[in-house]
A = this chain, B = another copy of it.
Amino acid sequence: MLEGTNFIAGQKHVGDTFFHAVDAGTGETLDPAFNEAGEAEVALACSQAAEAQAVFGNLAPAKRAAFIRLAAAKIDALGDTLTQRAMRETGLPQARLEGERGRTVGQLRLFADEIEAGRWQRVRIDHADPARVPPKPDLRLRMIPLGPVAVFGASNFPLAFSVAGGDTASAFAAGCCVVVKGHPAHPGTSELVARAIVEAVAESGLPAGVFSLLQGTSHELGEALVKDSNIAAVGFTGSRAGGLALMRHAQARPVPIPVYAEMSSVNPVVLMPQRLEQAAEDLGTAYVASLSLGAGQFCTNPGIVLGVRGEALDRFLAAAKAALESVPAQTMLSGGIRDNFERLVGGLADKAERVAIGAEGEGSCGRAQLYTTSGKAFLSDPEFAAEMFGPSSILIQCDDLDQVDQILSGMEGQLTATLHLTHGDHEAARQLLPTLERLAGRIIANGWPTGVDVTHAMVHGGPFPATSDGRSTSVGTLAIDRFLRPVAYQDMPDALLPAQLQDGAPGMPQLVDGKMRHGT
């Protein structure tokens, strides 16, 4: 059923260089062979995207929404075929992948609704005033798509952050054609999803260049894609080194383009004293559930937990230790990721106390691990704050809340920051909040950072290096903004104005002479 081809503007492409996926659990090579895209395929996909852009970017919102809904239905219909292939390629369990498929198609449908709601166009109308000196012109503003977007599939979310993931969904919603570089660890999963999109493009009567999938293993492929002059923006979720490289390529172009790279986060969690006193054991157990979820392979994994040393923190640690020792080994996404994890925790073991380690496994399994150190030691060694992608975390035992604040103030930008607190902690928490707002894109109370809801108010972003561009989110409807830019029309005759900029355009929210008017 899998063909191992690239999909370039609807055409299958077969060349003469190939790679294989590997079963994450067994290390076995999986069929079929996948064709490596090269420079010619990048150029073709991008020029086709540029050609399709004029049509796709100007499509009526209802038509673009219908296309996205059709793609969502086709991905959903892949059902067990998709899950089974993704399980082998990623080692992720069935329930997780089924949930991820639901999230992926739900996300596409949310963006389809958002296209029709029209807020993203940010229509503004300032009427003329010929009597003013000098005469005031008629000005009307709307957002238009940036142009074709390059999307890099992520290894840890083979569906929700890959071929039809959040970057693709929000780029489509903005009216941007998309060229995906599939992650080489799950090419079969990518092909299945790509085929669903290609079918939706064709059945919607859209130009085939609206979507392409390029498969391949080389860094050069990604570099060529980012440097292609037809690409107008980049979406990426992955390693810090990978994201930084894409930023450099994008800046070195004759025409620099924005890169939205989500890269690195240790997601600090603060245990406020009174809440800790109340619920040390429950918190300790929940901590281990969060740090080991999905073998710890989440961008929002709680890598650093901060508490004030004392009897309550000892109880927390004891509960976490007990919970962690019974965490089974879990297959990691690939042998390479497992090896990297082992190397990083190995370095940590030299300088922090290992509290507990989970069960040993076979193949590319990762063992959950919990470390602890003092606030003073943490402050003396910046390496403690580096991300360790996998099921591991460090509990920092601080002298007091001032030291907690000092540690948080010195940290790099984060996707999330979390407070566990109760009423009695509010005053102390209020002192920490400005630090947390500077630090992170999302501040969580009494939860754990893993789990990212796809809604209007979600921010999955944060200051560098959590992302390359802290002014944005990659999850939630605000993600559309990343791929838009404003255009103003001055004194343009009605006959030439886009429909949504006409006075009283039905269904379109408009800011008219400074007042909001809601389309009915």
B447 to A461, Cβ gap below 8 A?
Answer: no
Hey, which chain B residues are within 8 Å of A444, CB to CB?
A: 490-491
A134: contacting residue among B137, B451, B493, B509, CB under 8 A:
B451
- In the complex, what's the smallest C-beta–C-beta distance from A173 to chain B, in angstroms? 15
Query: Is A247 an interface residue, CB under 8 A from the partner?
Result: yes
Hey, which chain B residues are within 8 Å of A247, CB to CB?
A: 251, 256
A486 to B468, Cβ gap below 8 A?
Answer: no
B487 to A442, Cβ gap below 8 A?
Answer: yes
Segment at the interface with B among A208-216, A359-367, A433-441:
A433-441
A472 to B470, CA, bound (A): 15
User: Known: A258-B471, A426-B493, A471-B146. Is A455-B485 also a contact (CB below 8 A)?
Assistant: no
Q: Which B-chain residue is minimally distant from A471 (CB atoms)? A: B485
- In the complex, what's the smallest C-beta–C-beta distance from A286 to chain B, in angstroms? 14
Hey, which chain B residues are within 8 Å of A469, CB to CB?
A: 258
Query: Is A241 an interface residue, CB under 8 A from the partner?
Result: no
User: Known: A444-B490, A447-B491. Is A136-B453 also a contact (CB below 8 A)?
Assistant: yes
User: Known: A471-B258, A496-B430. Is A488-B442 also a contact (CB below 8 A)?
Assistant: yes
B445 to A496, Cβ gap below 8 A?
Answer: yes
Query: Is A12 an interface residue, CB under 8 A from the partner?
Result: no
A516 to B514, Cβ gap below 8 A?
Answer: no
Interface residues of A in 452-471 (CB under 8 A from B): 453, 455-459, 461, 463-465, 468-471
B251 to A456, Cβ gap below 8 A?
Answer: no
A471: contacting residue among B134, B468, B484, CB under 8 A:
B484
Query: Is A124 an interface residue, CB under 8 A from the partner?
Result: yes
Closest 3 CB pairs of A and B: A459-B488, A139-B457, A124-B457
Other 10 A-B pairs with CB < 8 A, given A122-B478, A137-B453, A443-B490: A117-B514, A119-B516, A255-B463, A255-B465, A429-B496, A430-B496, A442-B490, A457-B511, A461-B486, A472-B485
Measured CB to CB, the residues of A under 8 A from B are 54, 58, 113, 117, 119, 122, 124-126, 134, 136-137, 139-141, 144, 146-147, 247, 251, 255-256, 258, 412-413, 421, 423, 426, 429-430, 433-434, 437-438, 440-447, 451, 453, 455-459, 461, 463-465, 468-473, 478, 484-493, 495-496, 509, 511, 513-514, 516, 518
